């Protein structure tokens, strides 16, 4: 059996999947967040608890913020900053006396959807997080692509492709660059762009709902949003040629994306427009994708 752990900012969730991928137990505890050591203790305790309940030793996969640097073996880029610079993988392996597989939350989302979710059976899958930030993960034949820097899939900090005149130079991004995809496509940015154009304050999903209900300002905003997302994803398709792109995060609930964006990306993808096989799919596992994908880090 396989254990998956999702180390989040406010909670640590763990589950056990049996050989067939059926969920056997699930537990959730608050993240101590007082110190790195307390986080490690909490994860070890949760795994002990799950193994006691199923009565067997399991494989362990962990979804975590940031990435494990291939150069140093230490956590980097985590928004839970107490993890940065810490040997989390080595510490857990020593405490648990076994190999532990770890991947960041966007990668685990992609693994989950590629293993037994929306993109099951697809060879190359790009999992997109569209939420307060924009991230992504790449899965090839069920395994996350880690890469030389462990940043594969971090498309949110590429520039928006094919910018129009009114999109140059683009908004300042916290990463130090200007005009990053995240500065155009995150939920807070969609909300901000709409407010600047109309003076109205609506959340991203409310703008989408208003557009569907016939609100012309919201419809205009969503048309622009869909076109930007199509350009951004066309860049991914040209490089990776995925069989499926699965959306996750809060904006994945916007239903009109799944029909409109593939129509729009035909004009940007370098292929025969009428024969683009890449599918754009809503997620199947929702908020469980991190913990499920972590368990699936051990597909064998």
The residues binding Zn ion (CB under 5 A) are 157, 173, 175, 177, 180
Classify residue 269 by its DSSP letter. Answer: S
Give the SS3 label for residue 144: strand
Provide the token pair at 147: 């890469």
Nearest CA to 87 among 64, 110, 105? 64
Q: How far is the CB of 133 from Zn ion (least distance, A)?
A: 10
- φ/ψ of 104, rounded to 5, equals -75, 170
Task: Enumerate the β-bridge partners of residue 124.
Answer: 140
Token digits of residue 19: 């050989």
- Closest contact distance (angstroms) between CB of 177 and Zn ion is 5
* Burial class of residue 299 in the structure, from the number of CB atoms within 10 Å of its CB (0-12 exposed, 13-18 middle, 19+ buried): middle
The span from the CA of 119 to the CA of 6, in Å, is 21
Cα-based angle 233, 80, 37 (whole degrees, multiple of 5): 140
């Amino acid at each position: 059996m396989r254990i998956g752990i999702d180390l989040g900012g406010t909670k640590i969730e763990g589950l056990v999947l049996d050989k067939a991928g059926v969920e056997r137990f699930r537990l959730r505890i608050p993240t101590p967040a007082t110190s790195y050591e307390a986080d490690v203790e909490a994860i070890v305790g949760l795994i002990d608890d799950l193994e006691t309940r199923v009565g067997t030793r399991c494989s362990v996969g962990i979804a975590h913020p940031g990435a494990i640097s291939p150069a140093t073996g230490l956590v980097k880029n985590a928004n839970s900053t107490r993890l940065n610079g810490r040997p989390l993988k080595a510490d857990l392996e020593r405490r648990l006396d076994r190999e532990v597989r770890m991947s960041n939350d966007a990668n685990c989302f992609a693994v989950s959807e590629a293993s037994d979710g929306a993109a099951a059976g697809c060879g190359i899958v790009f999992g997109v997080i569209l939420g307060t930030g924009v991230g992504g993960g790449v899965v090839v034949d069920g395994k996350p692509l880690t890469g030389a820097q462990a940043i594969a899939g971090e498309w949110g900090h590429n520039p928006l492709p094919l910018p129009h005149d009114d999109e140059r130079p683009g908004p300042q991004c916290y990463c130090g660059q200007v005009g990053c995809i995240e500065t155009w496509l995150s939920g807070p940015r969609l909300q901000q762009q709409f407010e600047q154009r109309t003076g109205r304050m609506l959340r991203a999903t409310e703008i989408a709902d208003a557009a569907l209900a016939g609100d012309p300002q919201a419809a205009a905003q969503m048309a622009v949003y869909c076109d930007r997302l199509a350009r951004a994803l066309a860049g991914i398709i040209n490089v990776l040629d995925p069989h499926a792109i699965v959306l996750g995060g809060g904006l994945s609930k916007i239903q009109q994306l799944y029909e409109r964006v593939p129509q729009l990306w035909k004009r940007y993808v370098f292929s025969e427009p009428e024969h683009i096989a890449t599918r754009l799919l809503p997620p199947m596992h929702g908020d469980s994708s991190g913990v499920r994908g972590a368990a699936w880090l051990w597909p064998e």
